[in-house]
């Protein structure tokens, strides 16, 4: 896709028609790795299932992306001055 001077030229509509989708253009060895996340070098959080009240979830979700991280921050801050043993359920 170069011009007569050896320079990269502007793509045309015909050029775009010859392109393959990314998943078709990649070799199988690389295609298997796309979208697969490797293990963390130093895991910092523990995955778990947690039940929260609908009001809490709604309030944090309204804050947008990162709402789960904000719940973690709130709990971390609370632990600086409190103990879970203080709570009765």
- Which pLDDT score, from 0 to 100, does residue 37 have? 74
Does residue 8 form part of some domain?
no
Q: For residue 29, name the pLDDT band (cuts at 50, 70, 90).
A: confident
Supply the pTM of this predicted model: 0.53
Q: For residue 8, which phi and psi values (nearest 5 degrees)?
A: -65, 130
pLDDT tens figures, 34-82: 777 777 777 778 889 999 999 999 999 999 999 999 999 999 999 999 9
Contact present, 34 and 40 (Cβ < 8 Å)? no
Closest CA to 71 of 86, 89, 88, 55: 55
Q: For residue 3, name the pLDDT band (cuts at 50, 70, 90).
A: confident
Does residue 62 form part of some domain?
yes
Does residue 61 form part of some domain?
yes
Domain count for the chain: 1
- Which pLDDT score, from 0 to 100, does residue 52 have? 96
Does residue 59 form part of some domain?
yes
Does residue 6 form part of some domain?
no
Q: Rounded to whole angstroms, how far apart are CA atoms 36 and 24? A: 17
Does residue 5 form part of some domain?
no
């Amino acid at each position: 896709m170069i011009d007569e001077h050896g320079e990269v030229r502007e793509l045309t509509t015909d050029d775009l028609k010859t392109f393959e989708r990314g998943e078709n253009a990649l070799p199988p060895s690389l295609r298997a790795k796309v979208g697969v996340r490797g293990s963390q070098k130093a895991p910092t959080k523990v995955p778990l299932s947690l039940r929260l009240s609908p009001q809490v979830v709604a309030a944090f979700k309204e804050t947008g992306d990162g709402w789960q991280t904000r719940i973690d921050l709130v709990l971390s801050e609370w632990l600086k001055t409190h103990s879970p043993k203080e709570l009765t359920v």
